[in-house]
Amino acid sequence: MATVCPRPRQFVLLAVLSIALSLVSCGEDKSTNSTPRDVLDSPALLGSTTGSQNYIHLFVTAGVYTYHCKYHQISTYGETGTVAVNDGGSDSAFVTIFQGAYNPSSVAVRPGGQVRWQNFDDGVHHTVTSD
């Protein structure tokens, strides 16, 4: 009796579905930047009074990092912030986004420290984007 094998296209489709399911079930939160780098580039964070997605960034290099919301750069909002990375900084910091402002607008973390941003502006998108 002959063995029936699936056609090659079926193997490809199954492989793609298997990879896609693995990425969904094991994928990291898209709002988290776990790869250390010097550029802040969050996705659009839709606000909610109970808090939105977080954007978490790990800083490895000492320096001063300025950022803004790419949707609210005009002088009316002045939505800007600063992260200082130095040996005197803390292990982590938390910044809320509310009423068109980052609070606190300046934080300090040590090299290897992380900052977490969360948007509480109900129904409004904000970003954390390097200047």
Average pLDDT over residues 43-54: 82
Instruction: Supply the pLDDT for residue 29.
Output: 40
Instruction: Supply the pLDDT for residue 11.
Output: 39
Instruction: Supply the pLDDT for residue 37.
Output: 56
The residue type found at 107 is V
Average pLDDT over residues 60-83: 84
By C-alpha distance, which of 128, 80, 76, 87 is closest to 111? 87
Instruction: Supply the pLDDT for residue 82.
Output: 95
Between 44-48, 76-80, 117-121, the lowest mean confidence (pLDDT) is in 76-80
The secondary structure of the chain, three-state, reads: CCCCCCCHHHHHHHHHHHHHHHHHHHCCCCCEECCCCCCCECCCEECCCCCCCEEEEECCCCEEEEEECCCCCCCCCCCEEEEEEEEEEEEEEEEEEECCEEECCEEEEEEEEEEEEEECCCCCEECCEEC
Instruction: Report the alpha-carbon distance of residue 63 to residue 113 in Å, rounded.
Output: 12
Instruction: Supply the pLDDT for residue 3.
Output: 52
By C-alpha distance, which of 75, 52, 71 is closest to 129? 71
Give me the residue spans of the domains in the chain: 30-130
Of 53 and 94, the structure prediction assigns the larger pLDDT to: 94
